[in-house]
């Protein structure tokens, strides 16, 4: 199975998730629940694709070294 995203895309998404969560941390007291939920969903979507990429990459490396 080939990766659905590239390593560069995974790195960019991880960075975007990091920035989203850092911004959320700074302004969470001024946000309403709906905005907080939106930011969390965005971060989850970004991190989910990165996690999937890392899991697939690890499986491919283990298979190659088996």
The pTM of the full predicted model, rounded to 2 decimals, is 0.79
Question: pLDDT per residue over 14-34, tens digit each?
Answer: 999 999 999 999 999 999 999
Start-to-end CA span in the chain (Å): 17
Question: pLDDT per residue over 27-65, tens digit each?
Answer: 999 999 999 999 999 999 999 999 999 999 999 999 999
For 24, phi then psi, to 5°, come to -60, -45
Q: Please report the pLDDT score of residue 2 as a whole number.
A: 62
């Amino acid at each position: 199975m080939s990766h659905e995203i590239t390593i560069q895309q995974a790195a960019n998404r991880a960075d975007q998730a990091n920035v989203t969560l850092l911004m959320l941390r700074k302004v969470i007291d001024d946000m309403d629940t709906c905005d907080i939920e939106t930011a969390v969903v965005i971060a989850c979507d970004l991190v989910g694709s990165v996690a999937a990429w890392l899991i697939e990459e690890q499986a491919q490396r283990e298979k190659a070294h088996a």
